[in-house]
Amino acid sequence: VPPHPSASTLRVAAAQIPNVVGDLEGNARRIGDAMAWAEDQLADVVVFPELALTGYPLADLSAREDFVDRAGEVLADLARRAGRTAAVVSTVSRVPPRRSWDTRERSVAIGAAVLCDGEVRGVYHKVLLPNYEIFDEARNFAHGDRPGLVWRIGDAIAGIAICEDLWSGDGPPERQSAGGARILLVPNASPFHREKPTGRLELAAQVARRNGTPVVYVNCVGGQDELVFDGGSLVVDADGELLHRAPQFAADRFVLDVPLGRGRPVHEPACTVHTRPARERDPLPRPEPVAPPSDDEQVWDALVLGTRDFVRRNGGTTVALGLSGGIDAAVTAAVAADALGPEQVLGLAMPGPDTAPEELEDARELAELLGIRFAAVPLRRPTAILADELAGVLEGDLDDRASGALEARMRAAIIWAACDQLHALPLATGNKSELSIGSATLHGDMAGAFAPLKDCRKTLLHRLARLRNARGPAIPERILDRTPDELPTDSDGSGPAYADVDAIVERYVEQGRTVEELVAAGFDESVVRGVLQLVDDAELERRQMPPGVRITARAFGQDLRMPITHAWRPFEAEQAEIAVDVPTLVNVS
Amino acid sequence: VPPHPSASTLRVAAAQIPNVVGDLEGNARRIGDAMAWAEDQLADVVVFPELALTGYPLADLSAREDFVDRAGEVLADLARRAGRTAAVVSTVSRVPPRRSWDTRERSVAIGAAVLCDGEVRGVYHKVLLPNYEIFDEARNFAHGDRPGLVWRIGDAIAGIAICEDLWSGDGPPERQSAGGARILLVPNASPFHREKPTGRLELAAQVARRNGTPVVYVNCVGGQDELVFDGGSLVVDADGELLHRAPQFAADRFVLDVPLGRGRPVHEPACTVHTRPARERDPLPRPEPVAPPSDDEQVWDALVLGTRDFVRRNGGTTVALGLSGGIDAAVTAAVAADALGPEQVLGLAMPGPDTAPEELEDARELAELLGIRFAAVPLRRPTAILADELAGVLEGDLDDRASGALEARMRAAIIWAACDQLHALPLATGNKSELSIGSATLHGDMAGAFAPLKDCRKTLLHRLARLRNARGPAIPERILDRTPDELPTDSDGSGPAYADVDAIVERYVEQGRTVEELVAAGFDESVVRGVLQLVDDAELERRQMPPGVRITARAFGQDLRMPITHAWRPFEAEQAEIAVDVPTLVNVS
C-alpha cells in the first residue's frame, strides 16, 4: 500500500432501501439491484444501511444459528455478483466467542462486509453497541475489536464505521482518520423521532470537522413494529458542509463524487479491496438536496409509513377502526386512509346509550370526506341485555365506570369480529396522553393489532388534524371544535387536564426531571404527584397495549421500561383490604 | 491490617426477604428488622439479597435521579441504626460517569454497602452485568471497577460479589480469594426457572472448591411481574459441601457459624469494617437444611407465589376468571385459590351456543371442590343479537372462526365488567402451547391482568392437576379425562397436536436447535416448518399477552424477544392481495 494513495475524490453511491427483518432473500434482491445500478454509475463504492441484509432490529433472531448460517450463504451469493464497484453490505457476522460485560460468550457481531470482484474482501465489526432507549445490542452481539481498520479502494483509503460507532468522539472514526482514512462510510439503522433528523446532521458535521474527513451516512427506510426508519441519508464534506441529503420516508438512491479529506500517512492496517486506478469518467453533477419537511409533517409521514408497513408486512391490506366522532378516531382514520388507500379502511360507528346524534353524524361526515367505507352497528340492545344479566349475578347495577368499560369492550369485540370475517386488522385509536394515565380501556379502545397514535400526545393531535386538512378536507371542523386545542380543563372535571398530563409526562418521564424541579417550574405539587401516581399505576394496562409508531425519544414500551409491580411511592398493598361482596355458588338454569 | 487475620469461623446471618420494587420504606423496614435480629444472634455479619433496598429488577426506575437520591437517604438512615453486626445491604449506588459498550455514560452501579457502627464503611460495585434472557443490566447500570476489593470484619477477611459476579470462573470471587478473602458473601436476585435451583448449588460448590473459600449465597423471595424469586439461599463450605439450604418460596432467616477457608496473605486493598476481636459466644447448632421439593412441586409453588404477589402488590385481593370446564381454567382456578384463598376467587361460567351441559356441570363441581365463588352468565342471547347485527352490515353470517372469537371476546368483556364492579383483577387462562401457535384469542381468552399459566405447556398441566389433587380434591376427574395426558392428536384434527407443538417449541425456541437437527431427531419436516411458521406469526398476539409466571429458562416475553414484523421464511406480503368485500357507506338509522 503506498503511504499516500493519490485520489482526490471517491464516487460514492448510496442505497437508502427498506431492511425487512428476516427477509434475507428480499433484502438480497434489493441489494443486488442497487449493486448493479451502482456499477452502471461507475461508482467506486456503494454503501447500504446497517444490517441491510438481515433487517434491523433483529432482537433474538440473531441468536438463531440457522438464521446466521443462511445469512452467510446469501452474502456469499451477493459477493459472487460483485464487480468493480465495492459494495459495503452490513449483515450478521460470526466472530470468535468473546465475553465482555457479563458471563455469556457472544459469537455474532454486526458486520459490514466489503464485496468486490466476486469476493468478500473483509468484514468490519461494529465496536460500540447501543444498549439504551429502544436499543438492545449488548444482548446478543459481540463487539468488534478492530476499531482502526481502514480499506484501500483503488487510490483511496476509506474507513467504515457503523451507526453508534460514529458518536463517541474518540471511537472508530477518530482511529480510522488518524490511521489514514480520507473518507468515512457509515451504514446506519437510525429510527425516527422528532429530534433525530436535525441531530444526525449536526453530529455528522462534527465528526467530519474533527477528523477532516467527509462522512457518508446511509440510513434505511421503512416501518418495523414500533420503529420508523426515515432515511434522510446524508453526505458532508471534510469541513462539515452538507453535500447532499436524501428524502425522508421513501426509498432512494444517489451517487456523488465526494472530495476526499487531506492526504495522510496510513498508520493502521489496511484491507485491500482492489488496487486499480480510478476509471476514466466525467464528473457527476451534484444532485439536488431535498429540504426536510416541517417537524409536524415529518410526524405525519412517520405515522403513515409506520402504519402502512406494519399492516402490509404482516400480510394485511385492510384495516377497520371504531369511529366515535372524536379527534383520536378521526386522526387515526386519516392516517390509515393515507397509508393504505381510503378504500382499504372500514370505519365502524357503534352508537351506545349515551352517544349524541351529532357524534354519529360527524363520524359519517369524516368517512365521506376521507372516502373510507363506513357502517354502523348499534350497541344499545346487546349491552343492555348483558348489563341486566350481570346486575342479576352481581346483585346490583353496574356502576358508571364498569358500564362505560363494558361498552368499550363490546365495541372492540365488534371491530374484531368484522376484522376476523374480512381478514382485516383492527386499529386502536388510543393516544399517548390516555396511555400515560390509564384513561383508555384495556381490551376496549386500547384493543387492536396496531395503535398509530400511541406515541402522540393529545395536544399534538389538533396540529396534525389541521396539517392534514390543509392538504385536502379530511376531518370535519365540528370534531376539532368539540375538543379545544389547549384543553384547559378536563371535560367533566373528574381528572387532571390533558394539558397538565402532557406537560408533566414530558418533563418527568421523557426528560427525567424531578418532582422538585417541576414544582420549581410552577407546577402544583399535588397535581404533579397525582399525575405521576396515575402514570405508574397505568403500567399494568400499558404493558398490553398494541404496538404503535414511535415519534418521540421516549415512547412507552421499549424506550420506557417500567415495572408493573412497583411502589416507588409508599406501598401499602399488604394493608389493603378491598371490600368485595361476591356471591357464592349462584345457581343458574 | 495484619497479614493473616486469625479467626477460624464467621457467624453469618442471612435474610431471605422480599425485595419489593420501588418500596424503599418497606424494604428498609424489613432490612432494619433483620439487622436487629442478627445483632441479637451475635452475628458478625448479616447478608441481604441483591438490591434488597430498592427491589429487583428496577428496569428504568434506576434512571430516575430522585429515586436514586431517595435510596441514598434511606441507606443513610439504616446505617445510623447499624451496630456491631456488619450488614451487607445492596442498593443502587452512584459512581463517576463511565462509558463502556456504547456512547452513553452511566453513573449508577449495583452496590453492596457494608454498614457497621452507625456508618457506611464502603460499597462494592457489581462488575459483571447480565444482559441476556430476562436481564437488562447493561441498559442502565455502570459496571464496578474494583473486582478485587476485600473487607476486614474483625479477625476475618471476606469478599463480596453480587450474583452474576460469581459465575465467570475468573471474576471477582477469584480475585478476592487470591487477594486474601477467606469467605465470599454473595447477595443475589436470582429468579426461578425449573433448572435453576440445582444449577445454583452446583455452581456455588464449584466456586467454593476452585477458590478454597466458603460461599454464602443469599437470594430474595417473591413475585415481581413475570419473575418469581424463589429464595433457596444456601451456604457451602470451602470444599463445596452444602452446610445449609433455606426453604424456597418463603421468607426466611438463618444464622450459621461458617468455617473460613484456609488463611492466606492479603494482597488486595482491604476496606476495614471494624478491627475488634470476635465476641465470646457459644457455637451455634447447625440449622436443619430443607430438602427441596420435586420439580413439579416447585413449579406449583412458583405459580402460587407469583400470582399472589402480582395481585396483592398491585393493590388487589380478589380475582375473577372464566370457567369453561377445561383443564386450563381448572388449573388457573386452583392456583388462584391456593394463592389468595378460595373465598377471594370468583369463577364465572358463560355457556355459549356450543357449550355442552356437562361442561357447565364440571365448572360448577370444580368451584365446589375448590370452595371458590361461582356464578353463571348465559351468553347466547347477546351474542346472537350482535352476530345478527354484524351479519347485516357485513352482508353474510360470521364464519365459525369469527363467531368463536366473538364469543371469546364477549366472555372477556363480561369478566372485566364483573371485575370493574367488584374491584377484582381478571385472570387469563391461556397456556404456553396456545401462545406458541396463536391458538388463543387476543382480547378473548388471552384477556386479563395476569395469566398464571403463560409459561406452562399444555403437556405440563395434567401433571400439575394431579399433583394438586394429591393434596386434596380440587379438579374433577372428568375434566382430566376429557383431555388425555399425551394429546396424540388435535381434538378436531384441524391443527398440529399440542404434543408436537410442545416438543418442537421446546427444541427450536427454547434450546436453539435448528430445523435440520429436529428432522434428524425424527420430526417430520413439514410439521416442523408448519409449527414454526405459526410460532412466528403468533408474535403479533403474544406481544399483547398479560404478564404471567415464568417457570422455564425461555419464557415468551422478556426471555424471547422476537420482532412482530419479520420474514425469516420467504416474505411475500407485498404480493398479498386479500380479497375483501367491504360495504361502502351503509346507512343506519
Per residue, the 3-state secondary structure of A178-200, as one string, reads HCCCCEEEEECCCECCCCHHHHH
Query: ∠A419-A421-A422 over CA atoms, to 5°?
Result: 65
- Pairwise CB contact (< 8 Å): B416 & A398: no
Other beta carbons within 10 Å of A481: 9
Write down the pLDDT at residue A484.
Answer: 59
Distance, in Å, from the CA atom of A559 to the CA atom of A548, rounded to the nearest integer, reads 13
Which residue bears the cell 369511529?
Answer: A323
Where residue B584 falls among pLDDT bands split at 50, 70, 90?
very low
Contacts of A22 in chain B (CB under 8 A): 563, 566-569, 571
Q: Identify whether the C-beta of residue B24 lies closer than 8 Å to the C-beta of residue B56.
A: no
Q: Is the pLDDT of residue B485 over 70?
A: no
- B97 vs A: CB within 8 A: no
Contacts of A386 in chain B (CB under 8 A): 377, 382, 410, 413-414, 417
Contacts of B349 in chain A (CB under 8 A): 588
Distance from CA of A435 to the nearest CA of B (A): 15
- A553 vs B: CB within 8 A: no
Write down the pLDDT at residue B315.
Answer: 82
The shortest CB-CB distance from A578 to any of B64, B318, B405 is to B318
Write down the pLDDT at residue B573.
Answer: 35
Q: Is the pLDDT of residue B201 over 90?
A: yes
Taking 3-state DSSP, the helix, strand and coil percentages for chain B, each rounded to the nearest 5, stand at 40, 20, 45
Residue B522, C-beta contacts closer than 8 angstroms, at least 6 positions apart? none
Query: What residue spans of A471-561 are helical by DSSP H?
Result: 477-482, 498-504, 515-520, 525-537, 539-542
Q: Work out the average pLDDT over A22-27.
A: 93
* Among the listed residues A204, A176, A174, A177, the one whose alpha carbon sits nearest the alpha carbon of residue A190: A204
Contacts of A60 in chain B (CB under 8 A): 560-562
Q: Identify whether the C-beta of residue A180 lies closer than 8 Å to the C-beta of residue A213.
A: no
Cell numbers for A153, please give them: 479502494
Q: Which of A:47-66 have CB within 8 Å of B?
A: 55, 57-61, 63-66
- Pairwise CB contact (< 8 Å): B101 & A423: no
Q: Is the pLDDT of residue B572 over 50?
A: no
Q: Which of B:506-545 have CB within 8 Å of A?
A: 512, 514-516, 540, 543-545
- Pairwise CB contact (< 8 Å): A580 & B164: no
Which residue bears the cell 428432522?
Answer: B519
Contacts of B382 in chain A (CB under 8 A): 382-383, 385-386, 389
Which residue bears the cell 467506486?
Answer: A44
The residue of chain B with its CA nearest to that of A21 is B566
Distance, in Å, from the CA atom of A478 to the CA atom of A328, rounded to the nearest integer, reads 14
Q: Is the pLDDT of residue A585 over 60?
A: no
What DSSP line would sit under A127-174, residue for residue?
A: -----STT--HHHHPPPPS-TT-EEEETTEEEEE--GGGGGSSSSHHH
Task: Provide the annotated active-site residues of B.
Answer: 50, 126, 163
What DSSP line would sit under B380-444, residue for residue?
A: HHHHHHHHHHHHHHHTSPPPHHHHHHHHHHHHHHHHHHHHHHHT-EEBP---HHHHHHT-SPTTT
Positions of E strands within A382-516: 425-426
Q: Identify whether the C-beta of residue A437 lies closer than 8 Å to the C-beta of residue A496.
A: yes
Q: Is the pLDDT of residue B589 over 70?
A: no
Average pLDDT value for chain A: 90
- Selected catalytic residue, list A65, A119, A133, A163: A163
Where residue A5 falls among pLDDT bands split at 50, 70, 90?
low
Q: Is the pLDDT of residue B571 over 80?
A: no
pLDDT in tens, A497-523: 778 888 998 898 888 888 889 999 999
User: Of the segments A100-114, A270-284, A513-527, which one has the largest average pLDDT value?
Assistant: A100-114
A126 assigned to active site: yes
- Pairwise CB contact (< 8 Å): B571 & A168: no
* Among the listed residues B126, B121, B41, B127, the one whose alpha carbon sits nearest the alpha carbon of residue B87: B121
Write down the pLDDT at residue A495.
Answer: 64
Residue A578, C-beta contacts closer than 8 angstroms, at least 6 positions apart? B315, B316, B317, B318, B423
Q: Is the pLDDT of residue A322 over 70?
A: yes
Contacts of A416 in chain B (CB under 8 A): 405-406, 409, 442-443
Positions of E strands within B83-220: 86-98, 106-116, 119-125, 150-153, 156-160, 184-187, 215-218
- Pairwise CB contact (< 8 Å): B563 & A57: yes
The residue of chain A with its CA nearest to that of B367 is A585
Write down the pLDDT at residue A498.
Answer: 78
Cell numbers for B579, please give them: 380479497
Where residue A475 falls among pLDDT bands split at 50, 70, 90?
very high
ipTM: 0.92
- A174 vs B: CB within 8 A: no
Query: What residue spans of B62-142 are helical by DSSP H?
Result: 65-81, 137-140
Write down the pLDDT at residue A489.
Answer: 46
- Pairwise CB contact (< 8 Å): A421 & B399: yes
The residue of chain B with its CA nearest to that of A585 is B374
Distance, in Å, from the CA atom of A229 to the CA atom of A189, rounded to the nearest integer, reads 7
Which residue bears the cell 361526515?
Answer: A365
Q: Is the pLDDT of residue A65 over 60?
A: yes
Q: Is the pLDDT of residue A235 over 70?
A: yes
Q: Identify whether the C-beta of residue B226 lies closer than 8 Å to the C-beta of residue B558.
A: yes
Poorest-pLDDT segment among A378-382, A404-408, B191-195 = A378-382
Write down the pLDDT at residue B291.
Answer: 84
Q: Please state the φ and ψ torsions of residue B257, each to the nearest 5 degrees.
A: -85, 110
Best of B443, B509, B562 to disrupt the A interface (most A CBs within 10 Å) is B443
- The burial class, CB within 10 Å (0-12 / 13-18 / 19+), for A118 is exposed
Q: Is the pLDDT of residue B464 over 70?
A: yes
Contacts of B368 in chain A (CB under 8 A): 585
The residue of chain B with its CA nearest to that of A129 is B102
- Pairwise CB contact (< 8 Å): A61 & B129: no
- B138 vs A: CB within 8 A: yes
Average pLDDT value for chain B: 90
More confident residue, B216 or A569: B216
Where residue A580 falls among pLDDT bands split at 50, 70, 90?
very low
More confident residue, B181 or A580: B181
Q: Is the pLDDT of residue B585 over 60?
A: no
- B492 vs A: CB within 8 A: no
- A18 vs B: CB within 8 A: no
pLDDT in tens, A517-567: 999 999 999 889 888 888 888 899 999 999 999 999 999 888 888 888 766
Cell numbers for A11, please give them: 464516487
- Pairwise CB contact (< 8 Å): A382 & B386: yes
**Strand B86-98 versus strand B106-116 pairing type:** antiparallel
Q: Work out the average pLDDT over A220-234.
A: 96
pLDDT in tens, B80-100: 999 999 999 999 999 999 999
- Pairwise CB contact (< 8 Å): B405 & A386: no
User: Which H or E element spans position A119?
Assistant: strand A119-125
Q: Identify whether the C-beta of residue B541 lies closer than 8 Å to the C-beta of residue B442.
A: yes
- B390 vs A: CB within 8 A: yes
What letters, b where the CB count within 10 A reaches 16 and e where it falls short, cover A167-178? bbeebbbbbbbb
Distance from CA of A563 to the nearest CA of B (A): 6
The shortest CB-CB distance from B132 to any of A139, A171, A387 is to A139
More confident residue, B429 or B562: B429
Q: Identify whether the C-beta of residue A57 lies closer than 8 Å to the C-beta of residue B561.
A: no
Percent of chain B whose pLDDT exceeds 70: 93
Percent of chain A whose pLDDT exceeds 70: 93
pLDDT in tens, A182-213: 999 999 999 999 988 889 999 999 999 999 99
Q: Is the pLDDT of residue B54 over 80?
A: yes
Query: ∠B423-B424-B429 over CA atoms, to 5°?
Result: 155
Q: Is the pLDDT of residue B581 over 80?
A: no
Contacts of A137 in chain B (CB under 8 A): 102
Cell numbers for A34, please give them: 442497487
Contacts of B373 in chain A (CB under 8 A): 582-585
Distance from CA of A28 to the nearest CA of B (A): 12
Distance, in Å, from the CA atom of B184 to the CA atom of B186, rounded to the nearest integer, reads 6
The shortest CB-CB distance from A375 to any of B309, B574, B583 is to B583
SS3 B16: strand
Q: Please state the φ and ψ torsions of residue A271, each to the nearest 5 degrees.
A: -90, 130
* Among the listed residues B372, B464, B471, B473, the one whose alpha carbon sits nearest the alpha carbon of residue B427: B372
- Pairwise CB contact (< 8 Å): B421 & A390: yes
Q: Which of A:265-294 have CB within 8 Å of B?
A: none
Distance, in Å, from the CA atom of A391 to the CA atom of A389, rounded to the nearest integer, reads 5
**Strand B184-187 versus strand B345-349 pairing type:** unpaired
Distance, in Å, from the CA atom of B555 to the CA atom of A560, rounded to the nearest integer, reads 21
- The burial class, CB within 10 Å (0-12 / 13-18 / 19+), for A404 is middle
Query: What residue spans of B212-356 are helical by DSSP H?
Result: 295-313, 327-340
User: Of the segments A31-35, B285-289, B403-407, B571-575, which one has the largest average pLDDT value?
Assistant: A31-35
Q: Please state the φ and ψ torsions of residue A38, each to the nearest 5 degrees.
A: -65, -35
Which residue bears the cell 454503501?
Answer: A47
* Among the listed residues B550, B534, B337, the one whose alpha carbon sits nearest the alpha carbon of residue B456: B550
pLDDT in tens, B287-329: 887 888 999 999 999 999 999 999 988 888 899 999 999 999 9
Per residue, the 3-state secondary structure of A255-314, as one string, reads EEEEECCCCCCCCCCEEEEECCCCCCCCCCCCCCCCCCCCHHHHHHHHHHHHHHHHHHHC
- B380 vs A: CB within 8 A: no
- Pairwise CB contact (< 8 Å): A567 & B313: yes
Distance from CA of A416 to the nearest CA of B (A): 8
CA separation, residue B535 to residues A368, B487, B569 (Å): 40, 19, 12
Q: Work out the average pLDDT over B275-289.
A: 88
Where residue A579 falls among pLDDT bands split at 50, 70, 90?
very low
- B416 vs A: CB within 8 A: yes
pLDDT in tens, B255-266: 999 999 998 998
Q: Work out the average pLDDT over B190-203.
A: 92
Which residue bears the cell 395481585?
Answer: B311
Contacts of A131 in chain B (CB under 8 A): 101-102, 104, 131, 138-139
pLDDT in tens, B515-547: 899 999 999 998 898 888 888 888 999 999 999
Distance from CA of A65 to the nearest CA of B (A): 7
Where residue B484 falls among pLDDT bands split at 50, 70, 90?
low
